[in-house]
Amino acid sequence: MEDLLDKFARINHIDQAIFESEREMADGAEAIDAEIVFAELEKKAVVSPRT
């Protein structure tokens, strides 16, 4: 039963992420390439001082 609940929770998280993404797009957000996002985040992680 626990495996089924874990699977449902994962599916629910995916559905929620899709819903939020679709809502952001409807509100005018622009789609971007995930590879670009991760490359920019990596640059910031290397450059930014840790707090």
pLDDT, tens digit, 9 for 90 and up, residues 1-51: 888 888 888 889 999 999 999 999 999 999 899 999 999 999 988 765 655
Q: Note the pLDDT of residue 8.
A: 84
Claim: this prediction has a pTM higher than 0.85: no
What is the C-alpha separation between 50 and 30, in angstroms, rounded? 30
pLDDT the model gives residue 51: 53
- The pLDDT value recorded for residue 29 is 94
Note the pLDDT of residue 49.
60
Q: Give the count of domains, the chain.
A: 1
Q: Which has the closest alpha carbon to 32: 43, 20, 42, 40?
A: 40
Domain of 30, in residue numbers = 2-47
